[in-house]
Structure 1
């Protein structure tokens, strides 16, 4: 018997193998004692055999093998270069165990194959990073390779995963466990609005703030596949990998993307904080790590393709007056780009719109104290473009393919394509003082292809190497490419193209299960939302944007004096608090009122927090229900202030203490009784500030 374990202060992952067979995860959960006998755990977790079963239960190993009679989905499907199916049987070859890391190597000598499994556990963020690599002595065709496979908890009744659409990302799905499998596969060639690669498995009774939850995220920006399967004997497995048949050609090395896993003993928030911290502190590489996150202005919903330098300068003046610190020039500055049907890939400044080039606008923006950013969609091409006319063979897919937004994708697997796009983008960046790129990706691919994703990664990596001071935002029609793979190369995501504050309230609430504030762009949109048609008050729009990396994306010329005043006030509040909020944990609160989505952003030191309680619908009951806070010190005292109490409607006629003065109460009271907020209409937000204090006030 061979056994290994990985530990941090929260959890233990234990693996054990019988003889030379592939190991199984025999335990994953709360931290075990250091002297726990793993051989006993392996023997104790074996299930019994009865009628209608094999004489021994096949292993649910970290790569379940069809050749060992495994009755469920195998972890590897591979064919020889001739097309003949291979049924390998892997045996132990070696291991390398270090502090918080483990590598296991297994070989099938007859087929000339090797599987290498790597695990690493982070003692501070608590994330486990796991990966599988397949090596072959001769080229083989890969159909499916799973990252290390783990069992799912037996006391779980359901699982949560995520679907969505354009302007409606991060919709939470609840699926009951039952015999058979939950199979989700994204074959669009990008992460996708439709299938965010995340999974949360709560143990019975878990909520946002309490109970056991297991979390997964597959860090890959191409198509992916998830399998959550319950076998006939009751065991459950979770598999993640690239979408099946994503590798077009035969090769001798294949590897999965990193699979990020975590066990939480304090609800969904335990998973959320682990993912947030690991992404922010371990994965993202910051262009300017010591600089505060700047208030963002994007001109897209102000001018669209109608670029006029004098108009843009006026808009920049107004944005700076409102508190913006970065100005982003969106689509329409290049080629003959008067609409979305032409000029993608012709990355040269349009002399009709910019007769003196971009320098006059950039200089004006800099004179206002703002930095300058610009929009590209590097991986795409319009048939009506100079590049397509010169190189139609550079487009990915067939000549008669269905277009998306009147465009095709460039074949990023071709080095000559990457070189061309790099040269055009690098020329713009060298010739102008630009420190930000909004990198868009506005259509799904005509076919899934892992080489496309690897080519896009290579282009971004090359640009970042030459221009390390340039920050990159990942945008794909909004939230269509958000994952830890793209965020290893970028520093911000555009969470959704919807600037409807009510819709973003929910999108941001669910995305916080994986994303911290500092990478999550959120903008104050127009009074009448361009994607929903809804008219929303400036206070709600501003406070929803202030929940994340704040920005504006509207025409500031439409603002009334009162709207401008409110926006300046909220922006000033965000700037005052952004330094501590940048490192804060976003905690979802368990709201007793389904109409209220509430979160608590808690400083890492625990001495201050802010609560955002947004009302997205009409409450069923008359009076507001209390909202319990979380992760406070029970016997400590906190000063609580409703900082936007002045916005209370005149129909809020009562005299709750918070409407007139701050209160000082214990952490125990806040976490057990909870805060009762004043009455409010839908589409409004209450904002509470909490500060640790030793003083007792009325």
Structure 2
């Protein structure tokens, strides 16, 4: 028996000889007339010395106890801990246009693999396991996929204020195992993997990619078996299902395929997150320019100070004012009051109404910071309910706080009532939802609990947008983005750091959900002092905002920030709905990308000079994603940022150029000489 599922540019074909089905092809679209029977035959391997008499199947869930030499797709036990090694047999298929579910059965167990072709060009896969009695699950993989025989792995590593580093690893016999056991998708090992073909670049070559849509701890296995076959598995962290049950399921595994380099993957994931995963309260509403007060005042909340800053923010173009940590309980620092979501009347004797009235009078909406999953030992909630804490009582605190056990319905109910009461009393259209503590234990029930809490709040307050923040970029995945609308990519507002972080994150995240703020002149996380033009243009690459004490601005800085903000607002209708394409820069000192409109009729190039180039003059920058025969007029938006050393006749400093897409993608454009921490911005329109 054979099946296939297709979406834009991608096919997965499957077959079975009586056991759990296996993937016999995953890659670029196959012709409709492809004979799947012949394809299955073509996938059969030989047998040689030192092997068993039959090659165990690399199925959608390789079975332990079936002589499979690699990592199994499930590890099961009876409720009392007795190992369970069922021999699954294929039972039936359920097929509909763009949908396929394959069921296998054994000993009172039903293992089901679900595949869906999405209109955005990705395929989603999910595994469910049902039992006629309570069992334990140590490991359950989403449908297992074969990996190609050429190229390398690219996965993602990070840390606080240093997220989304791309790590390239060659294949070798054995396992590359990455496991996030911190209870969130994590800075360290976010749930992404790219399988890049030989010689793959941003703009050319073959690549496949996987994204596990889960916000708790997860596990990735990329394994080359002794026989040479390769497999990739994703699932919850090992042992994350801590209780016996009769039904278990993985999160969605989202997969993409590209024959146009890494950019093809980025385009598919950006489109899928923006147009399918995120559930916008009002998709037609323009993304507003943010102002967040955290790096301006921290916990020191004073109405007159914040009102003055709000006035300045509105004058510079801000459209949403977000009050950060420090408004509740007795919150003067990070040692107390998490869990007590009531107004601090010392700071706010009339509540937030005076500030919100002022913000609204300036034409801005109002947002508020929460961290509902956490509790301080010094809080009324903890004193009343110490049994609501997750993990052992003698655990090490993190940022002076513990974690609430969201698996408990009474905990979720308490938090729902507290947060909902604030949203009912005040006209709030935005929540910055933070998560600053690693979990002390691995427990999938905690993640299901936070999903349930956010889902309830969204039903009760459907007009409120939510930002996922977890010490910056510690919880960024499609599972949380199915419930939120923005991510805080990093706590670093250092524009040089952000330039690189945003560039690498673009392989997975669209601009519309990626928050990026213009930080203080003297960066609070790196100590660097960077020009306002550079800080502003880096923020303008994504969902733009400000996060500084605006009273520090000089007149020139304010004019520059206002000018860039006006540019962003004038162009956000197409940039936030467009596609980010990373450019293959021939100068390692330059980090460059394009944002191309959905219609392909206009684009903007951002070329960030991160450091001094080794050569004297700029190298040509080749563009991407254009029609070779079309003509485009390209204009340097910010020639005023040229340093005094730029004294030659570079054409783009003086006037627009009109060139074909072919010329722009092969010869490229020559930009002026630039100092480090300069961003060149080039706008293009199809003639």
Q: TM-score range by the shorter chain?
A: over 0.9
| TM-aligned CA deviation for residue 322 of structure 1 | 0.7
* Contact 2:622-2:667 within 8 A present in 1 as well: yes
| TM-aligned CA deviation for residue 67 of structure 1 | 2.4
1:82 aligns with: 80
| TM-aligned CA deviation for residue 149 of structure 1 | 0.4
> Are 1:479 and 2:478 an aligned pair?
no
> Are 1:425 and 2:424 an aligned pair?
no
Measured against aligned partners, the alpha-carbon deviations of 1:434-463 in whole angstroms (never above 9, x if no partner) come to 100000000100111001011111100000
Which stretch of structure 1 is more off in the superposition, 479-488 or 281-290? Answer: 281-290
Partners of 1:243 and 1:9 in 2: how far apart?
31
2:150 aligns with: 155
| TM-aligned CA deviation for residue 400 of structure 1 | 0.8
Measured against aligned partners, the alpha-carbon deviations of 1:273-312 in whole angstroms (never above 9, x if no partner) come to 1000011101101122211000000000000000000000
Partners of 1:308 and 1:66 in 2: how far apart?
62
Measured against aligned partners, the alpha-carbon deviations of 1:166-210 in whole angstroms (never above 9, x if no partner) come to 000101101110000100000000111111100001110111011
User: How many positions carry a matched residue from both structures?
Assistant: 687
1:532 aligns with: 526
2:66 aligns with: 68
Partners of 1:62 and 1:623 in 2: how far apart?
53
| TM-aligned CA deviation for residue 614 of structure 1 | 0.6
Partners of 2:348 and 2:305 in 1: how far apart?
12
1:499 aligns with: 493
1:262 aligns with: 256
Measured against aligned partners, the alpha-carbon deviations of 1:660-691 in whole angstroms (never above 9, x if no partner) come to 11110110000111112111111110000000
TM-score, normalised via structure 1 length: 0.98
SS in 2 for 1:472: strand
Q: 1:119 aligns with which of 111, 115, 119?
A: 115
SS in 2 for 1:25: strand
Partners of 2:447 and 2:7 in 1: how far apart?
33
SS in 1 for 2:564: helix
SS in 2 for 1:67: coil
2:99 aligns with: 101
| TM-aligned CA deviation for residue 499 of structure 1 | 0.1
| TM-aligned CA deviation for residue 620 of structure 1 | 1.5
Q: 2:237 aligns with which of 215, 220, 243?
A: 243
2:356 aligns with: 362
SS in 2 for 1:174: strand
1:13 aligns with: 12
SS in 1 for 2:65: helix
2:394 aligns with: 400
1:139 aligns with: 134
Partners of 1:32 and 1:248 in 2: how far apart?
42
| TM-aligned CA deviation for residue 155 of structure 1 | 1.7
CA RMSD, aligned part only?
Answer: 0.7
* Structure 1: gaps (5+ residues): 694-698
2:584 aligns with: 590
2:274 aligns with: 280
Partners of 1:49 and 1:678 in 2: how far apart?
62
1:654-665 mapped onto 2 (5 Å cutoff): 654-665=648-659
* Structure 2: gaps (5+ residues): none
2:32 aligns with: 34
| TM-aligned CA deviation for residue 8 of structure 1 | 2.6
Partners of 2:603 and 2:506 in 1: how far apart?
16
| TM-aligned CA deviation for residue 9 of structure 1 | 3.8
Q: 2:44 aligns with which of 25, 46, 66?
A: 46
Partners of 2:34 and 2:304 in 1: how far apart?
72
1:226-237 mapped onto 2 (5 Å cutoff): 226-237=220-231
Partners of 2:590 and 2:88 in 1: how far apart?
52
Partners of 2:358 and 2:513 in 1: how far apart?
27
Partners of 1:8 and 1:284 in 2: how far apart?
20
Partners of 2:191 and 2:375 in 1: how far apart?
27
Measured against aligned partners, the alpha-carbon deviations of 1:67-106 in whole angstroms (never above 9, x if no partner) come to 2211100000000011110111111111111111100110
